[in-house]
Amino acid sequence: MATNQEVRTHLEEIRASINSEINTVVDYERFGAMMTAGSKATELAKVTTVPTASIHAADCAICTAWDGTSAPVE
């Protein structure tokens, strides 16, 4: 069984990865016109290639093992 803390940590890691991807898109929108062709290609690759940390399987071992009965974190 996965504890509440394990599931929370796991989901926080996914959220951090997604936030990073969003920030890349925002930066590209703001500064893309000023970037060199090489920089543009690098930034586009960051968004069009899904990082492993952002992939979340429907059968995730941590999430599917969560029983939700662990003591609350204080």
3-state SS assignment for residue 29: helix
Q: Helices (DSSP H) in the chain: which residue ranges?
A: 4-31, 37-48, 61-64
Backbone angles phi, psi at 2, to 5 degrees: -90, 135
28-54 per-position pLDDT tens digit: 899 989 999 999 898 888 878 777 767
pTM listed for this prediction? 0.68
Q: What does the domain layout of the chain look like in residue ranges?
A: 4-50+57-64
11-24 per-position pLDDT tens digit: 998 899 889 888 98
